[in-house]
Amino acid sequence: MKNFLGFLLIVFLGTGHAEENLNPNVVFILIDDMGWTDLECYGSDYYKTPNIDRLAQHGMKFTDAYAASCVCSPSRVSILTGKYPGRLHITHAIPIQGAERLKEPLPVIEAIYKKNLPLEEVTIAEALKEGGYVSAFMGKWHVCWEKDFYPEKQGFDFNIGGNNMGNPGNYFHPYNGSWRMTKKHPVTRWNTLPNGKPGEYLTDRLTDEALTFISKNKEHPFFLYLSHYAVHTPLQAPQKIVNKFKQIPSGDRHNNPVYAAMIESVDQSVGRVMKKLKEVGIHNNTVVIFTSDNGGHGRITSHAPLRGNKGNFYEGGIRVPLIVKWPNVVESGSECNTPVMGTDFFPTILDIVGLKSRPGCHIDGINIVPLLKQEVDHLERDALYWHYPNYIGAGHPGGARPCSVIRKGDWKLIESLENGQLELFNLKEDLGEKNNLALTLPRKANELRQALHTWRRDAKVQMPKPNPSFDKKLNK
């Protein structure tokens, strides 16, 4: 009998930390406007990210991970719901109106998109309650314009710093920046972090709050959504770190010392979170996901060899870093080249924590756990889609005009919604999207366009409407 019990003990404890992998915690770290090459492990020759690189060394790095949009609000609703922004009719950064900023005649007007994520939508936080998870949202929310749609109304037990604003206005306490305050948009000042210290830096403060949450909930399964406002404008960082980068020679790709300091602050945040998880003894039972909501600002950072940046749908605007660390499951230092998207986090997290999928909710998301476990090298998904029936109107280089996009295999098609013009690229052979093959390969272009149109009908996306006051003579 004694030998039998000893055998059971060996089976239970000696084959992969079975006890530790029950009800794993999930820390989801979302960075704002971090470009695909803004990390050392993704090729930066100037920015310093040792803690995030270490995360990749102990997890899986994705080379072809995508945001669901080239701007923030649509990408963020896709993460929360597992649905394409086009299906939700939240297709622009709230509350920007792009068309009214363009000083030219328009052949189309933009779609009137929703400015609040409906409460009827089931979010990942609401789904995790079924498993007894306590959830906290910290940082940038920006999926609504009214207070009745803040994180605490969408399934999160705690909301720290999350509101309707796209940036804090000021990264240093008292964080008293604000957007235009008009009768049309009666917004309050950003400051939603009370009891701060003079000179306190926002990235550090949000990290402090995250560490407190981890310590208080170490005995209980939790979901921590740490959504940093960094590295979004305004460019502000602790002067000590800025001075450090002023002494470092510029790289061929990157050279902005203030932006580099903001990235280093984010990296320090990741390091502090990982250290706290280990201190409280739950690092082996916590899954950490690190990614960005869209590409970086084209006037601040470079995405080379990718074309484009935040605000357009070339690869630099939508391809983002993604790292997943899942102790005892994901092979350390592994890499995945299969295309994945922000819609996929919802069903993936449900599987990670042992909950049933909700296909009626995360209708556009695919569970990528088989990729994380390296059980497969592709997903049973026909294609990835983007839809943007608006104008960017936010000062980004090469700003998007109304378009729809499909990536199927190595092929990517961009269709203009103004005039039907097509751009076709083979990403395997032309990662920089320099060669438009639409005219030389018309059959392939038409095949992808038909698939794109079929998806748009199925998703019931909004389409721009003709502008009755448009004068063709003025647009020649």
CATH code of the domain containing 223: 3.40.720.10
**What's the rounded Cα separation, in Å, for the pair 196 and 194?**
6
**pLDDT in the model for residue 424:** 98
Domain boundary among 382, 402, 421: 382
Q: Domain total for the chain?
A: 2
Predicted local distance difference test score (pLDDT) of residue 101: 65
Residue 363 shares a structural domain with residue 415: no
Q: Looking at the domain assignment, is residue 158 inside a domain?
A: yes
Q: So what's the pLDDT on residue 181?
A: 42
Asked if 288 and 173 sit in the same domain, the reply is yes
Residues of the chain with pLDDT under 70: 1-21, 100-105, 177-191, 394, 468-476
Kindly state whether residue 460 falls inside one of the protein's structural domains.
Answer: yes
Say yes or no: 366 and 399 in one domain.
no
What pLDDT, on a 0 to 100 scale, did the predictor assign at position 186?
44
d(C-alpha 89, C-alpha 112), whole Å: 8
> What is the predicted pLDDT for the residue at 298?
95
Clarify whether residues 335 and 413 are in a common domain.
no
The span from the CA of 57 to the CA of 331, in Å, is 9
Question: Does the residue 434 lie in any domain?
Answer: yes
Same domain, 161 and 181: yes
Q: Is residue 244 part of a domain?
A: yes
Task: Specify if 1 maps to a domain.
Answer: no
Provide the CATH number for the domain around residue 433: 3.30.1120.10
Based on the fold, state whether residues 320 and 223 are members of the same structural domain: yes
User: Which of 364, 382, 400 is where one domain is finished?
Assistant: 382
What's the pLDDT score for residue 8? 39
Residue 462 is predicted with a pLDDT of 96
Both 398 and 326 in one domain: the answer is no
216 in the same domain as 168: yes
The pTM score is 0.93
Residue 232 in domain: yes
Domain-embedded: residue 251: yes
Last residue of a domain, which of 382, 399, 427?
Answer: 382
Question: What residues make up the domain containing 469?
Answer: 385-475
74 falls within a domain = yes
